[in-house]
Every structure is written in C-alpha cells, then in structure tokens.
Structure 1
Amino acid sequence: MVRGKTQMRRIENATSRQVTFSKRRSGLLKKAFELSILCDAEVALIIFSPRGKLYEFASSSMQETIERYEKHTRDNQANNKVAISEQNVQLKHEATSMMKQIEHLEVSKRKLLGESLGLCTIEELQEVEQQLERSVNTIRARKAQVFKEQIEQLKEKERILTAENERLTEKCDALQQRQPVIEQREHLAYNESSTSSDVETELFIGLPERRSKH
C-alpha cells in the first residue's frame, strides 16, 4: 500500500505527535551515525523533545565539536568583517575617483562655455578651441544631413502630388469629351417631347350626331 505524502504541519493529536517524534528521532539519530561512519565525518546532533528532554549524538566529543563550531563561526565573522572593510575601502576609492571625474567634467564644461579661462595657458586655450571646432563641424554635418533628408521627403511629396494631379487631369478631360454627347442626347430628347406636344386635341361635349356636324 502506497503511503500518502505527509503534510508539514504540527500534529494536533498528542499521542500521534509523540509516536511520530519517537520514530523520527530514532531515524535521525540512525542517519547521523551512518553519516559519521560511511563518510568519516564529525557529526554532532542535539534534540530537545517537546517536554524538554535532551537526546544527543556525537561521533567524537560533543564539547569538542561545539568548540570547533564556535571557532569556525568566529573565524567566519572575522573574515566577513575583513571582507566588508575591504569592500568599504574599495567603494570609497571608487567614490573619490568619480568625484574627481565629475569635477574635471565641470571644469571642461565651464571652459567650453567661455567661463573660467583666466588661468588657462595657451595650450589649454588651443585645445578648447580645437574641441569647439570639432563640435561645430559635427553639428554642421548633422544639420546638412537633416536638410538633405527633408529635401528628399519634399521631393517624394511633390512626386505623389504630381501623379495625383495628372490622374485628376485625365479624369477631367474624359468628362469634357463626354459632355457634347450628353448635351446632344438631351437636345434630341427635348425636340421629341416638343413635337409630341404640338398635336391638337379637341374635347366635344354632346351627342355623337352633333359632334359630327361640327
């Protein structure tokens, strides 16, 4: 029979809880013993029951294992402190370097704006001038490219409008060619209606004999 999966939550029934504790405790102690034998590991296991009873297993000496654990913990804490200290030093160094870079950029910016030039040497002024010339050349090249793109767009719009104008002109010419034929048909229809309206009609009231005498 397949056992169902045990839900990881507190067992409410006190008897079942005590039975489960006894079984699991024995199994855990057994696994700790097997691990120490099979893998030649130093194992120390401490268990307190719900009522406070102590159960323990140590492959060598519980006290020595605890001392070894405490020493290892202290060493780790010391190493972590050293690592944190080194990391802080590195961060401070990076922050100082970034502040210097920001200050250098601010000085360069003021020079490009024509400010704080009183203490500049000839070489520095020439360098600023050359940098400005390079910037102006780059701006002019970009400006020319933008103008070229706009001209190409306008030419494309002109081509589209010209094609649309030619299409409308052809349509207008076709309508003008059909107009005389339509006017001729309307004139003939008007003449036919006029001819049919010229027929005289008389209305006679009275007996047939009297109508024939008239």
Structure 2
Amino acid sequence: MDDNKDAVLEGVVFVGETLGPLFLNDPKTGDAGAAFQALAELDVDAAAAEWPFVDDEEAARDLGLMKEGLAKGAEDDDLVWEYRRLFIGPAPKPAPPWGSVYTDRECVVFGQTTLELRAWMREQGIERLVDDKTPEDHIGLMLVLMAWIAGNRPEALDEYLSLHLLTWSSHFLDQLAGAADQPFYEGLARLAQASLEGIQAQLALDVTYPRFYR
C-alpha cells in the first residue's frame, strides 16, 4: 500500500474515532468527557488546518461552532438537553440518527437497511464494537465502525462506505444541522457531513442513493 493510501486510511480512522463518540455519548453522563474537554479548549485555526478531507475554511467554521457550543462546558444544561432532544427523546426526534428511518418505506428503526448492514457485517466476520442495544445503522456506531475497518480491514472500506454509510449520511446530517438549536451539534453535523463527502471524493467512490422517505 502506498504512502498516500496509508495517509488516507489514517485520516479515515481519525474522523471516525473523533466524531463517532460525540454522536453516541451524552455530554454529561457519557464516556467521551475527555473529547468534549479537548474541543472546549481547541485552537480552532490550528485544528482546522490539520483536519483531513475538508478545506481549512469550512473546517474552521464547523469546529468554531462546536467550540462555541462548549463555551459553558460539557455539563451545561443547554448542551445536555439538546443532545437528549436530538438523540434520546422521549419526544419524537427531529432527525433520528438511524439510516433505516430515512431509507425504509415505513420510516422504522431496525428496517431493511439495518438488516442489510447486519448481514454484511456477518459475512465479513465483523462484530459490533460498542453498544449491543442500538441498531447497527446509528450514525455514531457507523463512524466508529468506519474507523475500525480503515485500521483493521481496509480492503472492506470502500464497500462499507458505498453500500452502507454514504448512501444516507449526507441526507441525515443535513437534516440534523438544520434541526440543531445548539451550535455544538450544528457544527458536529456539518463537520461530519463535509468529512464523509471528502472521504467519498478522495476514494472516488460511486454511490447509488436510495429513495428517502423522510
């Protein structure tokens, strides 16, 4: 594998490992406290210059939103309740984080695309890395899995991205950015979208987009 391919895979690992836990963890009670703290103290311009797959200006805008949203700390009520509103409930979520909600005609969790991803993982001999209750097509889980595949099974990365993640990620993340009332989650959605679209361009992946029902 040439040096450029190695660098791309390292960038994919970084994106997945950095962003995935931020979708999965409650800022106050989750396991990503160190990540939230690091973002609160971030040198935005320096970080933007190093962020892979996204141009400096866009990365700075998105990282700046995330830092702004952490100005009062990760335990700030506005941030915590926004996470719970967007990802937990009990009220209906404005942008549910599961792929099948958008690609299944019935807009259900554990829909056909969830089952297709589960079957693909089984065929590839890939086990769930974290969380044994959330449907496999949760955006946070899929970003963490993307990082693992890039680091451990790079030959499967293109197929995983083109068949299972990139098919719906931009549609969802665009909706999430619009639904977010707190700058941290708007910035997170926009940075994740720009990063995944940048990875798609870097790897020259041809993606067939499904019909979206939501």
Aligning the two structures, in what range does the TM-score lie when normalised by the shorter sequence? Answer: under 0.3
Return the index of the structure with the highest Cα Rg. Answer: 1
TM-score with structure 2 length normalisation? 0.19
Structure ranking higher in helix proportion: 1
TM-score with structure 1 length normalisation? 0.19
Structure ranking higher in strand proportion: 1
